[in-house]
Each structure stands twice: as C-alpha cells, then as structure tokens.
Structure 1
Amino acid sequence: MNEHMLDIRFSSALKALLYLAATAEQDPADPPTSSSAQLAEVLATNASLVRKLLVPLVHGGLIESTKGRAGGARLAKPAEDITLAEIYRCTVGDKPLWACRPDSAASCDVTAHTAEFFGRLSADTERAVLDVLGSRTLADSLAEVRTLDTPAASPETAR
C-alpha cells in the first residue's frame, strides 16, 4: 500500500461489523451469516477484498467465518463485548497513525530533536485514539448510527 494513500481498513471493517451486528439482532440465539458477496455489496467493493479484510478479524476472534455454499461471517461474540479499539487493532495492527518525515542532517536544536518530538506526539495521539475507541462498543456504535437516521440529523432538514 502506498504510504500516502488513506487507509480505509478500519472504517471498512467497522462498517462490516456494524452490518453483522444489525443482522445478529434478527436471531440473537443463532445469528445469520453474511456472505462475502453480501458484505461486498454493503461496502461497495468486491468479495475478494472483503475476504482479505475479514482475515484479521477472524484471527482476532471478533468474527467467525464458515466456508462453503451456506457459509459466511457473523460476530464471534456479542456486539456489547467488542470495542472499537479491538476492531482498530485487528485491522490496522501496530501501524502508526502518522509517518515521520525521514531524518535529515541536524542543522540546529530544532532539527536535531524534531523526530524524537514527533515520535512522542504520535505515541500520545495513538493513546488518545485508542482510549476513545476503547470506550465505545460495537453495540453503542450501532445505536448511535441509528440515531443519525432521525429527521433532525438529516442534511435536508438542517438547511
């Protein structure tokens, strides 16, 4: 992946898991599975890309996937037990939020310590992001997404 391209793995995984959480509500005792083709339609992408996106989520224990004609993906645990931080870590791994400019020759006090400063700033920011994501569950997020469908929240009525 080009380092200058936006990384949409987290937002794509979140959207897929929100969809799986919504479908799980239909039959909590035996939630239905969604095929990679169904998820691809939800994400407006292809099924092959969806299958690649699901791999780290399966390895992270957030979804379970069965193969075959009747197979598909579903949440591996209740949406209340999945934090957005878990989804983020599964999809992004340890990739930092930002990349620091490559070091160049230090020409003054500032340029001699900019990389160290930026590293500290990045670490602080990463902790703050993970704190916010860790305080929200998939269930909380699904409920919040559903409130966005109210007339007061739509752009047409806000004009």
Structure 2
Amino acid sequence: MSHISTAVEYALHTLLYIIDLPEEAAAPSSKDLATLRALPVKFMAGVMTKLNKAGIIVATEGMRGGIRLARPAEDISFYDVVVAVDGQKALFDCRNVRHACPLYGQTPPAWATSGVCGIHAVKLEADARMKDVLKARTLRDMADQAAKRVPSEFRAETRMWLENQAQTRRQRSHMPQDILKSAKVPEIQGCQK
C-alpha cells in the first residue's frame, strides 16, 4: 500500500486543468473534470470537496457554478494537496519494537528503551525530508513542466472543451424539461497529461 493515495495523484493531475483558467472563462464542474480524467463523478466530487474544505479550490454549486483555484498556483504546494486529500499522517508508524524482547523479562532495561530509538530517528528524518520536497514543489512548477511537454494545441482544445461544457450547462439551466431529457452531452476521448 502506498503512503500517498491515488486520489492525490488524480487531484494533482486534475488541478492542471484549472491552473491557468482565465477569470472570464466559465469554470468547469467536478463532472467535467471527472470526464477529462475518465473517473467516476462521485469520486471526483469527493476529491473536490476535500480540496474545497482545505481552501485549495473554490467550488460554487449550480448550473452556473464551477471550480477555480482559491489562490495562485505558486502558493499551493504538493504538500497542501496531499494533506487536503489524505490528511496529516506520518510516513512511518513506530511500534516501539525495541521494548519487546523475551530476554528482557517483564521490564525492559533502561538502556534498551531510553532516548530516541536510532531506527525511529531515521524514520523521522525521512518523513521530514519527504515533507520538505512536497512543500518545495508547487502547482505552478507542475504546470510549467507540463507546458513543456503538452502541445499548446491540446491545451487549447482542452480549455475549449471545458468552456463548451460550462456553456452547455448554462444553456441547460434554461431549457424546458422535455428538451433537456433528450439532449446529449458531448463526449471526449480519455485525455492524459
């Protein structure tokens, strides 16, 4: 089992779609973002709820609602996203194994249990270094790196697709129910960044 969940990976990849969203552009819904990541809508909505509660995104409800970053991408670290989605947890779980040895009898000697365990100290250092790396990398870093690899045409096509989805959502909010039931949502082939 990995320490950081797959939900964090999906959250980071999904945030790429809204990093440089122009202020005047309609914001995508969690359903739109789920479609782009080929994920169940319920799963994506759960991830977006966690990001919203953590102040990473602002999610507004309704047909005119959508998802935007709550603050600039350079102010959101990978660590912020990890904690928002998975919660605050240590990399290692110390079980105080050094206390349990049948040769100690009922009470382990002080030399065996006093001070910080050397193994635990290494675990604490590894945990701190991992957190430092995650805190040092931001969503802006990720977007800049992706922009070097992802063709600008694909980025523009993705943004246009998201805008069309938002516009369709807005138009549907004004449609009579009988027309709405027969309308089809445009599909997009699975996208990867």
Shorter-chain TM-score above 0.5: yes
Identity, in percent, stands at 28
Alpha-carbon RMSD: 2.8
Whole-angstrom distance in 1 between the partners of 2:52 and 2:144: 24
Q: Deviations over 1:29-60 (max 9, x none)?
A: 33531111111122221111111111221111
Tell me: CA distance 1:99–1:67, structure 2 relative to 1, closer, same or farther (3 Å). Answer: same
Q: Does structure 2 retain, via aligned residues, the 8 Å contact 1:31–1:74?
A: no
TM-score (norm 2): 0.61
- Note if 1:8 corresponds to 2:3: no
Q: Does structure 2 retain, via aligned residues, the 8 Å contact 1:65–1:71?
A: yes
Instruction: Identify which of structures 1 and 2 has the higher relative contact order when contacts are C-alpha pairs closer than 8 Å and 6+ apart.
Output: 2
Whole-angstrom distance in 1 between the partners of 2:48 and 2:120: 30
**Structure 1 alignment gaps of length 5 or more:** 151-159
Whole-angstrom distance in 1 between the partners of 2:103 and 2:25: 61
Tell me: CA distance 1:71–1:52, structure 2 relative to 1, closer, same or farther (3 Å). Answer: same
Q: 1:138 matched to which residue of 2?
A: 139
Q: Does structure 1 retain, via aligned residues, the 8 Å contact 2:50–2:85?
A: yes
Q: 2:101 matched to which residue of 1?
A: 106
Q: Does structure 2 retain, via aligned residues, the 8 Å contact 1:100–1:118?
A: no
Name whichever of 5-14 and 133-142 sits farther off: 5-14
Amino acid in the other structure paired with 2:17: Y
Q: 1:57 matched to which residue of 2?
A: 51
Q: Does structure 2 retain, via aligned residues, the 8 Å contact 1:96–1:122?
A: no
Q: 2:16 matched to which residue of 1?
A: 18
Whole-angstrom distance in 1 between the partners of 2:64 and 2:148: 33
Q: 2:148 matched to which residue of 1?
A: 147
Whole-angstrom distance in 2 between the partners of 1:91 and 1:126: 18
Amino acid in the other structure paired with 1:11: E
Whole-angstrom distance in 1 between the partners of 2:78 and 2:29: 22
Bigger Rg over Cα: 2
Secondary structure of 1:133's counterpart equals helix
TM-score (norm 1): 0.72
Correspondence 1:80-99 to 2 at 5 A: 80-99=74-93
**Structure 2 alignment gaps of length 5 or more:** 105-111, 152-193
Q: Paired residues, what number?
A: 140
Q: 1:157 matched to which residue of 2?
A: none
Amino acid in the other structure paired with 1:21: I
Amino acid in the other structure paired with 1:12: Y
Q: Deviations over 1:91-128 (max 9, x none)?
A: 1211233445795942579xx77xx5554333222211
Q: 1:67 matched to which residue of 2?
A: 61
Q: Does structure 1 retain, via aligned residues, the 8 Å contact 2:92–2:127?
A: no
Q: 2:26 matched to which residue of 1?
A: 32
Whole-angstrom distance in 1 between the partners of 2:123 and 2:38: 32
Amino acid in the other structure paired with 1:124: E
Secondary structure of 1:20's counterpart equals coil
